[in-house]
Structure formats: C-alpha cells, structure tokens
Amino acid sequence: MTGRDQPTAPIGPLPLSIAEYAERARSRTDPGVWDFIEGGAGGERTLAANREAFERVRLRPRVLTGTAEPDLSTTILGRRWAAPLGVAPLAYHTLMHPDGEVATARAAGAAGLPVVVSTFAGRSFEDIAQATDSPLWLQVYCFRDRGTTLRLIQRAERAGFEALVLTVDTPRLGRRLRDLRNEFRLPPHITPANLPAEGADYSSPSAHSRTEMDPGLDWSVIAWLRSASRLPVLVKGILTAEDAERAIAAGVDGIVVSNHGGRQLDGAPAALDALAGIATAVRGRCALLVDGGVRTGADVLASLASGADAVLLGRPVLHGLAVGGGDGVRHVLDLAVGELAEAMSLTGTPSAARADSALLTAPAPAA
Ligand code: FNR
C-alpha cells in the first residue's frame, strides 16, 4: 500500500465533483505513485489537450422539452449498460487500495456499469468476476511470448469476461518524464495477479514493457486474436479515420478512440478532437468508445454528441479508490452519471442514443 492509509470511506464532506476527488486523492497518495498515475509522455501536451478539448465545448440548452427523466441506458455488444460509461483499463488499482480491481468491479457492478480490466490488474480475474454481474472486458497487451498472452486470454474467458480490448498504441511505452525523474519503481507487493510470477521483474513498467512486449505487431494480430478466442475484439488507441477503416476491415467489433490518457505519443490530438472524424468514418459499423480527459457528465454528453456510443473513465476511478475504496469509486461513477442525467435533461436529450451533434455549438473560430 503506497496510499498513506487504507481508507474505506471518504474522510470529511463528500467531494462534490470528480475534480474534487482528484484534489482529495492527491493529498492521500505517495508523490511518486501520484506522478505515475497523473503523468503523461514528454511535455504532456496531449495530456493537457484532452482536457482543453472538453473545456472548449459548449452545449446548447433546449427548453420546454418535457425531458423529465432521460433514459441513460445503452446497449453495447448486446449487453445493457445503465449509462454510456465504463471504467478504462488501468494497471494496478492495488496501488491505490488493497482491494484494487475487486473494489472497482463491485462499485461498477452496483452501478450497472462495465469494467475493462488491465493485463496488469493487481487482483485475480476470478476475484474480480465474483464482485460484479456487469460486463467485464479484458484489456490485452501482446507479449513477445504469445503463449503468455494466450494463457491470459483463456483465464479471463474462463472467469466469464465478455470481450477483448487490444491496446494498439504501445509498441513501446511513451517517455514519462515524471517517472524517469522519480526513478519510479512499483512497490514490491504490487504485482500483476494474472501473469506469471516466476522469472519476471515487473517493478519498472517501462523496462518490463521494453523486454517483454511485442513491439512489432501489425494488423494480422486481429486474426490471431480471433483464432485465440471467440470473444468480441475491440482495439484501443485509434486516433485516425484511416486506422479506424483498417480496424473495421480487419473485422473488429469495436474501437476505442484514445491517446492512452496522454501517456503515449506526446503531440497526438485530444481524444475528443479525434473522435468526430472517426465517427464519420465508422458510420455505426462497430461499437465506438472514447477515453481521455472525461471528468464531468457534460463531457460524457459532448462525447456522445461527437459520435461515441460510450466513454471510459480512467484516472478518476483511481482517485475514487484512493479517497474511499469501493465507496469512492461508486461515488465517482454516481457523480458522472448524475451529471449526465442533468445535462441530458437541460439539453432536452431523451436518451443516450439520441445525443447528436445538434447538442454542440459550432466550434469557436480560431483566434
Ligand atoms: C492507463 N491506461 C492503460 N491503458 C491500457 O490499455 N492498459 C493499461 O494497463 C493502462 N494502464 C494505465 C494506468 C494508468 C495509471 C493510467 C493513468 C492510464 C490508459 C487508460 O486506459 C486510458 O486510456 C486513460 O487513462 C484515459 O484517460 P483519463 O480518463 O485518465 O484522462
């Protein structure tokens, strides 16, 4: 445990926003761990851009629409989600709370929301699966040793996971200057619960990735995944319409528009800015999700209006865990869902499926 204590409930008045969760979490988290979580690659331009894109958005309020109780629910890959919102894959929830992904899955499950579980989950797939009835998806990193990847997939499948999300933006890990400066190492008790323990050194994520991850993947990996599993396959880390087309041609069931929370190519576009062009190219041919910088219900609605079917929430989930364990995660998710309901009501959006670009004001002219 590198959070400074092991909270089970938020101390003091409940944070009123996801931004307040971040502030509260920071004061409770070891500074090196905080930098690992918060940091981006290089000069953190893309990290900042993710937020700036949402800050620029203006939604068009509509009045007298009779939208008393908007329907937030949505259906993704044949499963109902209570809201168009899920938990993004994040390594080692156990950094923030010993219950880690189990607490997260319990909270998300109680809210009727899915979790994408990282290859580097700190808790076992079986324990995570016990904690929720809502969908669990496995985020897949491809190891040089395909056997390791295959065993990971098979284990998740046996535990009842429902889809594979191949992360495609990490042939190498972005240079995260905060971690380099801090010489960041995972504490010894933080290990990936679903990967082989013997002979592996996971303490430096960048060194581990350099030696163990396959840096040479190409589109044929999708066919390999299809041969390895019957689960639907999504790709995460698409930022161009061309790659979205390639992904669809390769037969994916879904795309996650993402710049990895600004942790990979510094200078890549904000996720929200990349989304609209990709949505136009995809034309509903597969599920379309987005992550990066979503911090309010209005951000969720802006993402739907820009063409996403659903969004994933990253760092705020870890902030919730740090502040209040599973209760904190539940509250973070409830804040996002509650704010989304409010924004839908105030824009006269009766259902998540009806959100479209008419909700957005025209982009401001460049200065
Ligand atoms: C990540 N992300 C990530 N992505 C992935 O595919 N596999 C992983 O194991 C991780 N691990 C991870 C750890 C931490 C600490 C962070 C902050 C991010 C990226 C993640 O899925 C997502 O793309 C971003 O976090 C979304 O941006 P926000 O919501 O954090 O701004």
312-331: per-residue pLDDT in tens? 999 999 999 999 999 999 99
> What is the rounded average pLDDT for all residues in the chain?
95
In the CATH hierarchy, which fold is given to the domain comprising 18-358?
Answer: TIM Barrel (3.20.20)
Q: Is the pLDDT of residue 123 over 70?
A: yes
ipTM for the complex shown: 1.00
208 has a pLDDT exceeding 50: yes
| CA 12 to ligand 1 center in whole angstroms | 28
What is the spatial distance between Cα 308 and Cα 230, in angstroms, rounded to a whole number? Answer: 25
pLDDT at 366 over 90: no
**For the residues of 36-57, what is the DSSP string, one character each?**
HHH--STT-HHHHHHHHHHHH-
What's the confidence (pLDDT) of residue 297? 98
Q: What's the one-letter identity of residue 197?
A: A
> Is it the case that residue 5 has pLDDT exceeding 50?
no
Contact partners, residue 60, CB within 8 Å, separation at least 6:
347, 358, 359, 360, 361
Q: How far is CA 213 from CA 39, 141, 194, 209, in A?
A: 21, 7, 16, 5
Distance set, CA 39 to CA 269, 295, 328 (Å): 17, 16, 22
Bridge partners of 235?
166, 255
Would you say residue 28 has pLDDT above 90? yes
Check residue 199 and give its pLDDT: 81
Pocket test for ligand 1, best of 90, 95, 217, 290 (most atoms within 8 A of CB): 90
99-108 tens-digit pLDDT: 999 999 999 9
Q: Residue written as tokens 């380099």?
A: 180
Q: Picking from 21-35, 204-218, 272-286, which range would have the lowest pLDDT averaged per residue?
A: 204-218
pLDDT band at 13 (very low <50, low <70, confident <90, very high): confident
> Out of 93, 97, 208, 260, which one is annotated catalytic?
260
State yes or no: is 260 an active-site residue. yes
Cβ(190)–Cβ(50) under 8 Å? no
Strands (E), the chain: 74-76, 79-81, 85-87, 115-117, 136-140, 163-167, 233-238, 254-257, 287-291, 310-313
Tokens of 331: 């509250």
Q: What is the pLDDT of residue 364?
A: 52
The per-residue pLDDT for 122 is: 98
Interatomic CA distance for residues 33 and 24, integer angstroms:
15
Which tops the pLDDT comparison, 367 or 136? 136
Average pLDDT on 242-247 reads 98
Say if ligand 1 is within 6 A of residue 118 CB: yes
- Beta carbons of 308 and 340 less than 8 angstroms apart: no
Confidence (pLDDT) at 209: 92
CA distance 123 to 128: 7
